[in-house]
Structure 1
Amino acid sequence: MNKNSNGANNMTSGNSMKQIIAFFLPLLWGNLFQQIYSLVDSIIVGKGISDKALAAVGATGTLNFLILGFVVGMTRGFGVLFSQSFGKGDMELLESHIRSAKKLCLIISVLFTVICILSLKALLLFLSTPADIFKDAYNYFVIILAGILITVMNNLVITILQSLGDSKTPLYAMLISSLANIILDIILVMGIRTGVAGAAIATVAAQFISYYYCHIKVKKLGILDFSSSTTDTTLELLKIGLPVAFMNSITASGAMILQYFVNLMGSGYVAAYSACMKFAGLFEQFGMSVGLAIMTFVGQNMGAKKYSRIRKGVREGILLSIIVNLPLAILQIFFPGFLAKMLLSDVQIISYCSEFMPILGIALFPLGWLFIYRYAVQGIGNTFLPMLSGILEVVLRCSFCMTIGRQSFRGIAISEVSAWIGAFIMLMITYYVILELKLCRCQK
């Protein structure tokens, strides 16, 4: 791996598998620590306040994905152009992309903050949020929404670093911010007794700490030091970033439908669903981290026009995904009760998790492959087809939820994994049949 003194890594030459693993591991640990402090939030809220407080926080999960997923997905889309510019060795173009991206993130974050806070109550009512957890759900999420700008800018600087092959700095930032989040959780929730609002404040504060740490490293890279005027690439960024943003929000809308049906079952099922999805979010980070490593790898090599290297890297990513997901699938399939007891106290609610979690475990492998193909296609520069896969996920979730999902909690789990499997199949066919042929023609 070609590494400069500031930590940026050129992944266009050398042993591809070693490069992918070397990039993947810090990325994985960073994503895991992000999920861990989210899990700590849940443990402290569930054990330190009540199961209903945990249900209130969990009830905002799909809204979080819908709203923050849009703006964060947009920054991830920008990363495709960052990687390709770096792979080409065109640092002035990279600078133009970054400066334009910062302006876009500022404008969109402010707009989203105002609109979403004003419409939050209506959104919670639309989701049929149970009355006994409505107030806590509102108090928690309004603080999260107030910190949208911090969240987006944190993801932008992380995307810049990862696009340049630096996955270690985001890891260090996450370690520091996770520790701060845990300390603040203990002080605000269990010490001062600020309720769910304290957990939200701790989360936003942790995001700011991560942003500040990564921002300092981006400045040290010297990629914004060109004296010549840069070209405004706003339209190019929107073209590549908006489909990723819409894909996240479209996928979230499908998850909102599942949340709606779970909410109708009562706060006990909401708490069980929240616990199951917390672990699902934690375990999916392994496959997602492999996918993100592949996106950076593919993006840089696409810029360098090394197409055969792209194909080899994707194959190696599939193998790595299988290896890392195997022990996680075993945990979800055979030990769901053990996992649920970490977050929940009520025996009946824990039993609900034993119906739901094994189904997610079985489908963990196609979920990992979905991440590989989705991020590979994005790295090549096509973000439209992955957006269509998000639409397919919504269709499948709705179809299954309207049939078997409304009949049982296990049906909700089947509705969720049907979306994973369907999108995986679509993107696999897209990659091998369409994009592989296109790349082969480019080589001739």
Structure 2
Amino acid sequence: MRDKNLDMTRGVIWKNLLVFFLPILAGNFFQQFYTTADAVIVGQFVGKNGLAAVDSVYSLLKLPVNFFVGLSGGAAIIVSQFFGAGKKRELLGAVHTVVVFGLAGGTVLSVLGVAAAPACLRWLDVPEDIFPLTLSYVRIYYAGFVFSMLYNIGAGILRAVGNSQTPFYILVVSGAVNVVLDLFFVGVFRWGVSGAALATAAAQMVSALLALNALNGKNGVEGFSVRQARFHRPALRAIVCLGLPVGLQSSLYPVANMMIQGAINGTGTNNIAAWALCGKLDFMIWLAADSLAAAISTFVAQNYGAGQFARVRRGVLVGTGMTASLVAALGAALYLWNEPLGGLFVNPSDHDVIPIMAKLMRFLSPLYFVYVFGEALSAAIRGAGETLRPMLLTLIATCASRVLWILFVVPRSRGLITIVASYPVSWALTAVSFAVYYRIFAGKRLMGPAEETTGSY
């Protein structure tokens, strides 16, 4: 199994991280391409109301996705540790368990999402002029939710055993399917945002089937079979203990963000569309940070499982530095070129939203790098098997601070910049919190014997 996948317990650290990171970044890019393709095609063929309809519920759609991606991420920690320690039987039991868990949970949430959609949109204060479009989009999206979960679980397992290339190839294929269907459903058949949602659901189904097939392939997990997948009690217990806090941590972001989106929704369709454009432009920031965080977490998990504590500590420093440098460069690019890039997403009659978007991007761009430190350190701590306290820190420093900002600061100065400022404030608080905790955590859990590491920086 080790000769087929990347073993990060040996070799040069920055090269390990880079080789593992690049396919994840590329794969996440194609996954985001789903949403971006929807936005470009909907913006051009449906107009700013269609764009606002899709983006006004972004946080609502991300809530269950983040929970299950986080849960599978917790399972991936166990898988990585078993892989690093060479425990094949325990590894297979964990993989079978998380696949069954994802299938069952994804199906339940598909049903609940379709049924609860109208009430959720009312709670988010979606404007009446885009309410019907938004409801149609949300219901179709949730109907295909189980496929999204199965792909993310399959991809998470593949990455946990060092195979970050196969998920990338899968997303290239499904991304192409999404774009082609978008053009037909929205551009040719004129199905509007419903067509965009159908295209996304179909592409997610393709990615799910390919991911499950890859788990049984030569670069997957030895012995895996969908037919033999079932719950293994020891694995289920470990997955719940580690994965549930990670899932909750991941889902806390959209919970707080829904309050922010609700505040933005109350300022009008133009501001909603402008904020939607910001999301289409800065997605590379989040892809870069999240992809390197995934690489850091897997690196830490494999080396922690192998007992190479000094290598873990070095990897965290190298990975955090790589992430900060990349995000700072991307932030500078967005500061300089946000207007021409934003113009790609709207038709000429809707260009009144571009100045609003530009103002927001120039405010946020110099501050994106602050987000990196909390994300990288949180990933490192999770990779070592500590998931509860990172969840609590995220709850307080990130989510509670955003909620309190919306409740107490925004009413005193109800401008769009004031609402959006909740993000950099929470990034700074989270970065400081995790920096302090990492020093404490590293002193207790990552200060094993002063062994020589295999490889170098």
TM-score, with structure 1 as normaliser: 0.95
Offset at 1:399? Answer: 2.4
8 A Cα contact 2:264 2:272, kept in partner: yes
Residue 408, structure 1, aligned to residue 415, structure 2: yes
Kindly provide the amino acid, as one letter, of the partner of residue 115 in structure 2: L
Cα deviation, 1:374-433, whole Å, max 9, x if unaligned, reads: 111110111112211321211111222234435111112211221222112211211122
Residue 332, structure 1, aligned to residue 334, structure 2: yes
8 A Cα contact 2:327 2:368, kept in partner: yes
Corresponding residue of 2:387? 383
Kindly provide the amino acid, as one letter, of the partner of residue 402 in structure 2: R
8 A Cα contact 1:161 1:170, kept in partner: yes
Rounded to whole Å, the distance in 1 between the matches of 2:313 and 2:441 is 13
Alignment of 1:194-213 (within 5 A): 194-213=191-210
Q: Which structure 1 residue ranges, 5 or more long, are not aligned?
A: none
Task: Count residues in correspondence.
Answer: 440
Alignment of 1:405-444 (within 5 A): 405-406=410-411, 407-440=414-447
8 A Cα contact 1:94 1:223, kept in partner: no
Residue 118, structure 1, aligned to residue 115, structure 2: yes
Q: 1:98 aligns with which of 90, 95, 107?
A: 95
Offset at 1:74? Answer: 1.1
Cα deviation, 1:152-175, whole Å, max 9, x if unaligned, reads: 110111011100111110111111
Rounded to whole Å, the distance in 2 between the matches of 1:134 and 1:299 is 44
TM-score, with structure 2 as normaliser: 0.92
Alignment of 1:4-403 (within 5 A): 4=3, 7-220=4-217, 221-224=220-223, 231-232=232-233, 233-345=235-347, 346-392=350-396, 393-403=398-408
Secondary structure of the 2:126 match is coil
Moved over 3 A (4+): 402-406, 441-444
Rounded to whole Å, the distance in 2 between the matches of 1:202 and 1:225 is 30
Rounded to whole Å, the distance in 2 between the matches of 1:135 and 1:322 is 41
Offset at 1:219? Answer: 0.3
Secondary structure of the 2:125 match is coil
Offset at 1:60? Answer: 1.3
8 A Cα contact 1:284 1:368, kept in partner: no
Q: Which structure 2 residue ranges, 5 or more long, are not aligned?
A: 452-457
Rounded to whole Å, the distance in 2 between the matches of 1:112 and 1:442 is 45
Identity fraction in percent: 28
Rounded to whole Å, the distance in 2 between the matches of 1:190 and 1:251 is 33
Secondary structure of the 1:209 match is helix
Offset at 1:230? Answer: 8.7
The root-mean-square deviation of aligned C-alpha atoms, in Å, is 1.9
Kindly provide the amino acid, as one letter, of the partner of residue 374 in structure 1: S
